[in-house]
Amino acid sequence: MKETIHSYEDLLRMLDNLLKEENKFNWDNFYSDRERKIPFFENHPDENLVEYLETKRFKSGKALELGCGPGRNAIFLSRNGFLVDAVDQSKEGLDWAEERAKEQGVHVNFIQSNIFDLEIEEGTYDLVYDSGCFHHIPPHRRMSYIDLVKRALKPGGAFALTCFVEGGELGGVGITDWEVYRGRSMRGGLGFTDEKLKGIFNDFKTIEIRKMRDMGPESLQFGTSALLAALFKK
């Protein structure tokens, strides 16, 4: 690899390479053992997403899920009348998602890709959903992430995400963006507060930011107060 910066993209790649800990993490290995006791491995949708549909915070239409993993939220959206494109870079995760979708008789267009390599026509989607991807996005990629969401959404479209609470029991380190690069690590995922999310997504209208509700193992929904649930509108 030539270590010369000629463009903004070269700069982003250089900063990616600084965060070596994150570069070494392998999502295919993570999803390869389906018997691991990971709460979100269960095929249950996020409780906040269920609530948004039940309370008609947005109507069904075309949805894009970023970092869909084994597809639990994408499948739920498809069952509820959405045309769904669901993106993840892990083949293991998407293979599992495809199996689940076939078992439930629903169609989801699963796409194996880094989200920043997506080619999206402006104003394509009524909803962009992200369950646990954003807190793994390094600060230098955040502007590209916001541009992706803005480009993808129709005017008035909804953007919803769940992410680590700062200092939460599942993760969510409370460090500044500059500290990420001083230590060359995101320490497993960045944590956020209401105010941090409002500041980052200040181009959007904030509808709601709250902690997810804790849902027990007997529930058919996923929820933990170690995550924030946020809903915005373009």
CB proximity list for 35: less than 8 A, separation 6 or greater: none
* Element housing 58 (H / E): none
| Residue 7: CA count within 13 A, CB half-sphere | 4
The pLDDT, as a whole number, for residue 22 is 58
Burial of 140 (0-12, 13-18, 19+ CB in 10 A): middle
> CB–CB of 94/108 below 8 Å?
no
Q: Which residues of the chain have pLDDT under 70?
A: 1, 20-24
pTM, two decimals, is 0.94
The pLDDT, as a whole number, for residue 21 is 59
| Residue 33: CA count within 13 A, CB half-sphere | 7
The pLDDT, as a whole number, for residue 1 is 58
Angle between helices 47-54 and 72-79 (to 10 degrees): 20
Full set of structural domains in the chain with CATH = 8-233 (3.40.50.150)
H helices of the chain, in order, are 8-18, 20-24, 27-32, 47-54, 72-79, 91-104, 142-152, 177-182, 194-200
